[in-house]
Amino acid sequence: MGALKEELLKAIWHAFTALDLDRSGKVSKSQLKVLSHNLCTVLNVPHDPVALEEHFRDDDEGPVSNQGYMPYLNKFILEKVHGNFDKVEFNRMCWTLCFKKNLTKSPLFISDEDAFKVWVIFNFLSEDKYPLVIVPEEFSFIVAFPFNHVDSFTAIQTTVSLLRVGSPPPHKEARQKRKELRQKLQAEQEELERQMKELQIANENKQEELETVRKQLEEAAARASVEEKKRLQTQMELQDRFSLELEREKMVRQQMEEQVAQKSSELKQYLQRVRELEDMYKELQEALEDEKQARQDEETVRKLQARLLEEESAKRAELEKWHLKQQQTILMTEAEKQELETQRIIKERALQVAMQQLEQLELERKQALEQYEGVKKKLELAANKTKSWKDKVAHHEGLIRLIEPGSKNPHLITNWGPAAFTEAELEQREKSWKGKKATSE
């Protein structure tokens, strides 16, 4: 439908511009009514004059322009075209409106019918831009080789015949390909021109840069000549100074190597002590965990022993109560004794069971007491072990010291050399360890 619409618009454009006598781009509404009615007739589209009046109701006092007519043409005529019309009749109707404007010379070298055919071919070969023109390459449709007027008229008749039966014109696909090729070549030409322009600008910029560099090189050469004279003048002084500095650097390097060797040895001793202290801290942590677990076990056993003592006391009170009741029962009459004998037997049995439970509680209490004693011993061992490791750690921490030059504080002397702390610092740390020990116990 898009291609058909473009073909129809070309012929309608000729008819509309023919009605625009003063070339103002506007045509009166009465003329458009006639044009619209004729178009609907030849295109087999129902004509609605009311729609035209409604569309241009604001322009009753003046002519309407081509732009104003196009929306109506598209909506009420072209969109309703389905191809069931005579294309030759449609073209002839448009040609009838515009031929006087297009044929300005008289007489013609061809007949009116041939002029109509040429006009149809012109519309077919023209670009989809207004005003309509034919690019030079499209003339190859009429000339790829020389031919006489008979061949020309034959080609025109063939085209018109194909249009009459609704078939596409010859070379339509070839024309579209040529059009696409022209567009591609034009785009490539524009891109090439753009690149050439960029290259030209880049070349001009490069030339300016080269000129700047040349001037800079000349200035640098002049400066280099002056600098060379200064360099030769000061070279002897620098050589003497360099020799002196070299000897001094040699002596400093030797001293530094001796100091590095000494520091390396001290660092190895320090790292060894740090590793030993880390091992001691680890064992101290394990000892503290053992002590903590022992205290938890002691608390558990203590609670168990208290519960067993409470149960034992309750059972003893119950036995005392039953024993008192038995004494009271003995003082009763024989009749009451006989009656209560059975209850006594039952209570004695219950008493035996209670005694057995009491013996069992006493046994469990003794076992809990023994377990408590064992846990208490473990706690004492863990506390002693913790204290031993705390002492070791405190002692070993005193052995770690980073050697710092210029220290004037008095230090202790240990089996491994100077201690890491002064005597006052060691006393302060001992107080701290004792405070932590008292808190943990």
Query: What's the rounded Cα separation, in Å, for the pair 316 and 311?
Result: 9
Query: What's the rounded Cα separation, in Å, for the pair 72 and 52?
Result: 7
The CA-based angle 95-99-170, given to 5 degrees, is 50
- Give me the average pLDDT of each 10-residue run along the chain (441 residues): 82 90 82 90 88 71 64 89 89 91 75 88 83 74 52 57 58 70 84 89 89 88 86 83 85 87 84 80 77 79 80 81 75 67 79 79 78 77 75 67 46 49 64 64 55
Is residue 47 a contact partner of residue 40, using CB atoms and an 8 Å limit? yes
Query: What's the rounded Cα separation, in Å, for the pair 29 and 16?
Result: 12
- pLDDT score, position 346: 83
Nearest residue to 161 via CA among 78, 91, 246: 91
- pLDDT score, position 141: 57
The full set of domain ranges for the chain reads: 2-170, 399-441
Tokens for 244, please give them: 């002196």
Query: What's the rounded Cα separation, in Å, for the pair 184 and 179?
Result: 9
- pLDDT score, position 39: 93
Q: Residue 174 corresponds to which amino acid?
A: A
Peptide bond just before 107 cis, omega within 30 deg? yes
Distant-in-sequence, close-in-space partners of 47: CB < 8 Å, separation ≥ 6: 36, 37, 40, 41
Is residue 400 a contact partner of residue 414, using CB atoms and an 8 Å limit? no
Tokens for 293, please give them: 């677990």
Q: Which long-range contacts link 89-93 to residues 24+ away (Cβ below 8 Å)?
A: 89/42, 90/8, 90/11, 90/42, 90/43, 91/11, 91/116, 91/119, 91/120, 91/123, 91/163, 92/116, 93/15, 93/38, 93/39, 93/42
Query: What's the rounded Cα separation, in Å, for the pair 126 and 133?
Result: 5
Query: What's the rounded Cα separation, in Å, for the pair 357 and 315?
Result: 8
- pLDDT score, position 403: 42
- Pairing status of strand 417-418 against strand 413-414: antiparallel
Query: What residues are paired with 64 via a beta bridge?
Result: 27
- pLDDT score, position 244: 86
Q: What is the dihedral of CA 404, 408, 412, 413, to 10 degrees?
A: 70
